[in-house]
Structure 1
Amino acid sequence: MTRFNTRTARPAVSSPVTTTGHTAPTYEGATGHLRDAKSELFLLAVSNLVSVDTFYEPGAARDDRYERLVRRLAIEDPDWTAALLAWLRTDGNMRTAALVGAAEFTAERLLRQAPGYSRQVIASVLRRADEPGELLGYWTSRYGRAIPKPVKRGIADAVQRLYSGKSLLKYDTASKGYRFGDVLNLVHASPDPDKPWQGELFRYALDRRHNADTAVPPASDRTLTAHRALMALPVGERRAVVTGPGGAERLAAAGITWEALAGWLQGPMDAAAWEAVIPSMGLMALARNLRNFDEAGVSDEVAARVAARFTDPEQVRASRMFPFRWWAAYKHAPSLRWAHALETALGHSLANVPALGGRTLILVDRSPSMFPGYGFSTPNRSDIPLAEQAAVFGAALAIRAAAPTLVEFGQTSTVMDVPWGGSVLKLVERFGQIGGTDIPSAVKAHFDRHDRVVIVTDEQTRAGWLPSNCYGYGGMRETQIDDLIPKSVPVYMWNMAGYKAGAMPSGSGNRHTMGGLSDAAFGLIPLLDAGRDAKWPWE
């Protein structure tokens, strides 16, 4: 009798998020599966917006868990932790978590007198010119004004890379506790030898910090001199710059951002003002201001140019915007003239979502813990809750799958119609809210010989129950995933919130957990389907 050479035989594969075999209850009382330290840190890091309460976990407790894990792994495996933090700030696009992680990584290594790594880790997470000051603000509020050498040197490395005339105008503002000049004073950064202009810029930043009224920008910096000229114009003449020929070019050359333009004009942001500054705005700023454009009456011609940027795959990729940001732009835009471009941009941002063959069951969690309210927010400062983020990813996977069964679930569940080649944005609009989190019941109701199962959730499920005849008497026992889905069928659990206990074992045996707010994790599904091991995203 054939035991192993069967149609369902699959090569054993592994994935990086791994459970230990130990258990603890989920927040809704089911048996939860604990992960090793690296896996727990990864899932928490990709969903943690520092100091933000979640439905089940206060922000302070969440931050403490994150810091303890970083500090532990800074000693146990500094190479892995350094790579995680660098990836987190770049492809992971989690700015604050990366910055806090780098500071705590360094603090622990200094405490243990462990040499190496710290300077490089600090420099690796500083990617924007306001972040050296941000890191100093965190460090001094946590550890006092004494700045250790690795922190100084890592920040100085970043200063050489990031400080320019344009970045000074954008980020060196009076609202900051640590101005560019303060950072330079504290870390003693030298100009980059390959940037001969940087010495004058540094001197100007110091002078501007202490003598704002009399500081004169270096003549060699065209952005700073152009900005000074525009700022010297009488207020009554400034709107003529905006409406006159070459107004957009003059604003861009002087580093006038959309945030600063209204203050410079000392008047309303009408259509002419927006149309002058739109060419120099980044994609994120454009997506967030569509309502303002419509309310100001920006012309269709200019709107078409904005839409063309949204449909450019290179610009969308370069923006590193999370897919749900395009849903947010669509949700808040009052007119439909943006709809097609936003759908296209969302598609570009979901480039890693595979077109899965066979039959795929996709379960999307719509329980209260995935929504804001009940005294807590979700791990997201915007008004786009985890439930809507989950819906974006579930809808995108369903639209591209050959034979999807898309289900929204909570304590009950509903199958959703998936139009072939339809709109992800329109499909997301149809999701609702369902009380409770009951993964076992949703699986029992809808699994029917599917080739794979994808569950997008915070994993905090209630226990499901099955009849038990153990020990010679009837009763009930708690349901596990393996009771409901054959071990030969892969289950991919997409963790949206980074809680400690998960809903199933992970890392092997066709049971795999992924995490993060980008689409990158979906690229692992066809890899694991094909019998190939998955690695950490930076490997």
Structure 2
Amino acid sequence: MRFNFFSRTTATLTTNYEGAPAFALTPQLELYAAVATAALSDQFYETAGTRLQRFRALVAKNEPRFVAQLAVYAREQLHLRSVPLVLAVELARVHNGDDTVARLVARVVARADEITELLAYYAAANARTGRKTLGRLSKQMQRGLAEAFNRFDAYQLAKYDRAGAVRLRDALFLVHPSAKDAAQQAVFDQLVRGELPTPYTWETELSAVGQQAFATAADRQTAVRTAWETLVASGKLGYMALLRNLRNLLEANVSAETMAQVCAILANRAAVARSKQLPFRFLAAYREVKALPSGHVAAVLTALENAMAHSAENLRGFGPATRVVVACDVSGSMRQPISARSKVLLYDVGLVLGMLLQSRCQNVVAGMFGNTWKRVVLPRGPVLRNVDEFYSREGEVGYSTNGHLVIQELYLRREVVDKVMIFTDCQLWNSRGDGGTLARQWADYRRHVAPEARLYLFDLAGLGTAPLEVRPELGVALIAGWSDKVFDVLGALENGGSALTEIQKIDL
């Protein structure tokens, strides 16, 4: 019977990076998962260059409209910046004949520095370096970038006119945008001459302080403290900048009034909504300040918990009638940073999303798996504190990826649940050598215990395979990404759709 289970499959059987049996994803699902989890830096199983090559191959395999919709979805729903630009360039390489690329480029370039980032990738993708060797842009690429240029004012251009392979001045010469009016033409002329007014940002203000000469170290410290206090009071310190500079604010020993204002901004419901922060950024800030000796730390941690709660307000959970299992993969491959410059691990992302979901469900069992599967009872509500509790206990289950044990326990207990949510890199394998797999356990569990149960794989790595076949009739769905937006897909799944259904709703 177990061999017959595999013979009936319609998916392509393969092996994952651990050499364990796995199922290949369709080109659409594979591209979606790779995009939603892309930091474009080296990962445990795959280098940044390998993933870029896989993007290129997958773009060629998919319909141009889907690629464009996915790029917009990644930029506007998942709040990713670099990978939509990569998709736009790769689509331009293989598609022409209509204005899809122009409309896509104009849509995904939301900040002035994304013009130069897109052109830098364009140069790399076409084995060119520097403005003079970029050559002519395609007409559609040029049209899209020209429309983007027309949206930015002097402040935005000055703020993001940074040193790099391609400067904004270079981009202006390449794109030749027509100014929408005389005022904008004057701004373009200033950009060409290098005369844009210096923007008021926290970087420029702190840089100005750093360039001054001070009689004593105490005088310098006072100037730095005053600069931070002025920045916070001005209201011009963005939400992300505030998150990233909490340590600097505390170490500068800013006033109690300033820290009260900082906490108020962090915990402001409207500010959280506008910031569009990925959930793990709150965890990174939480950990950054937790061990500092300042007396303001407790207030900051409370503000961050409140911010996380606000970010989850619109998250669709499940009521008391829906029995949910949340299982977090804490194996060795999940202990990799999401990017070269980040301290956040895939493991952290899984725990944050898992605890976010737990906070919105009323009948939920949560736990973690490695060598073994262990249920962990924690109070609903304090998401960041719960993540740290999990983090302190992960060694209790070891570092293998025996995800099948989550379902095996349900099967042996004859415990009926409605939803099983597994947060993982999908590289599951059985370290016990007894032949058990998630695919077999799930088939047995649905056949003998809970025929209506649904399994949701939250793919946090996008490596192109799944440990079981992703098909609605088997009760299996795949959702990818690090954003709380992944939970929006649950609504589509409940109504017979999928993650791809949500992407295909994007209007170009």
Q: State the TM-score, normalizing by the size of structure 1.
A: 0.80
Aligned 1:124-163 pairs, distance under 5 A: 124-143=107-126, 144=128, 145-146=134-135, 147-162=137-152
Query: What secondary structure, in the 3-state scheme, does the structure 2 residue paired with 1:430 have?
Result: helix
Query: Which residue of structure 1 aligns with residue 82 of structure 2?
Result: 96
CA–CA separation in structure 2 for the residues paired with 1:483 and 1:170? 58
Asked if the contact 1:440/1:464 (under 8 Å) is kept, the reply is no
Q: Does 1:459 align with 2:449?
A: no
**1:183 aligned partner, one-letter code:** A
Q: Which residue of 2 aligns with 1:252?
A: none
Relative distance call for 1:476 and 1:487 in structure 2 (3 A) is closer
Q: Residue 445 of structure 2 aligns with which residue?
A: 484
Any conservation in 2 of the 1:87–1:538 contact (CA below 8 Å)? no
CA distance in 2, matches of 1:298, 1:94: 33
- Decide which of 274, 288, 298 is 1:332's aligned counterpart: 288
**Quick one: which amino acid aligns to residue 454 of structure 2?**
P
Aligned to 1:398: 358
- Alpha-carbon distance, 1:71 to partner: 2.8
Distance in 2, Cα, partners of 1:495 & 1:380 = 20
Q: Find 2:479's aligned residue among 510, 514, 524.
A: 514
3-state SS of paired residue (2:344): coil
Counterpart check, 1:190 vs 2:178: yes
Alignment of 1:309-348 (within 5 A): 309-333=265-289, 334=292, 335-348=297-310
Q: Deviations over 1:411-445 (max 9, x none)?
A: 112211121x4311111011124311111123213
Cα deviations by residue, 1:496-517 (Å, 9 ceiling, x for unpaired): 0001110122241221110111
Kindly provide the amino acid, as one letter, of the partner of residue 386 in structure 2: L
Alignment partner of 2:53: what SS? helix
> What is the distance in 2 between the residues matched to 1:380 and 1:355?
33
Cα contact 2:64–2:95 (8 A) shared by 1:
no
The one-letter code of the counterpart of 2:18 is: E
Instruction: Tell me, yes or no, if structure 1 residue 498 matches structure 2 residue 462.
Output: yes
Query: Which residue of 2 is the match for residue 172 of structure 1?
Result: 161
Structure 2 runs not aligned, ≥5 long: 1-8, 129-133, 213-219
**Equivalent-residue separation in structure 1 for 2:116 and 2:442 (angstroms):** 47
Residues in 2 aligned to 1:513 and 1:81: alpha-carbon distance in whole angstroms: 18
Measure the CA separation in 2 of the matches of 1:451 and 1:492. 11
C-alpha distance in 2 between matches for 1:118 and 1:288: 34
Between 1 and 2, higher relative CO (CA 8 Å, sep ≥ 6) is seen in 1
Higher helix share: 2
Cα deviation, residue 177, structure 1: 3.2
Alignment of 1:243-254 (within 5 A): none
Q: Structure 1 residues 424, 117: closer, same or farther in 2, change over 3 A?
A: same
Please tell me the residue identity of whatever aligns with 1:493: L
Q: Which residue number corresponds to residue 46 of structure 1?
A: 36
Paired residue for 2:375?
A: 415
Aligned CA distance change for structure 1 residues 427 and 456 (closer, same or farther; 3 Å): same
Could you say what the CA RMSD is over the residues aligned between the two structures, in angstroms?
2.4
Confirm or deny: 8 A CA contact 2:67 2:87 kept in the other structure.
no
Q: Secondary structure at the match of 1:340?
A: helix
Task: Give the aligned partner of residue 271 of structure 1.
Answer: 225
Q: Offset of 1:537 from its aligned partner?
A: 4.2
The CA distance in 1 between the partners of 2:17 and 2:109, in whole Å, is 35
What amino acid is aligned across from residue 171 of structure 1 in structure 2?
Y
Paired positions, count: 456
Aligned partner letter, 1:488: E
Deviation at 1:466, TM superposition (A): 10
Distance 1:380 1:157 in 2: 33
Q: Note the C-alpha offset of 1:379.
A: 5.1
Aligned counterparts of 1:307 and 1:528: Cα–Cα separation in 2: 37
Structure 1: tracts of 5 or more residues without a match:
1-18, 209-214, 218-223, 228-254, 469-474
Corresponding residue for 1:80? 66
**1:107 maps to 2:93:** yes
Per-residue Cα deviation, 1:134-153 (whole angstroms, up to 9, x for no partner): 11122123323212222222
* Map of 1:443 onto structure 2: 407
CA–CA separation in structure 2 for the residues paired with 1:277 and 1:94: 27
- Return the match for 2:102 from 109, 119, 144: 119
Please say if 1:351 is aligned against 2:313.
yes
2:16 is aligned with what amino acid?
T
TM-score of the superposed pair, with normalisation by structure 2: 0.84
Specify whether residues 27 and 40 from structure 1 end up closer, same or farther in structure 2 by C-alpha distance, changes over 3 A only: same
Structure 2 CA distance for aligned equivalents of residues 126 and 519 of structure 1: 22
**Greater Rg by CA:** 1
More off after superposition, 313-322 vs 284-293: 313-322
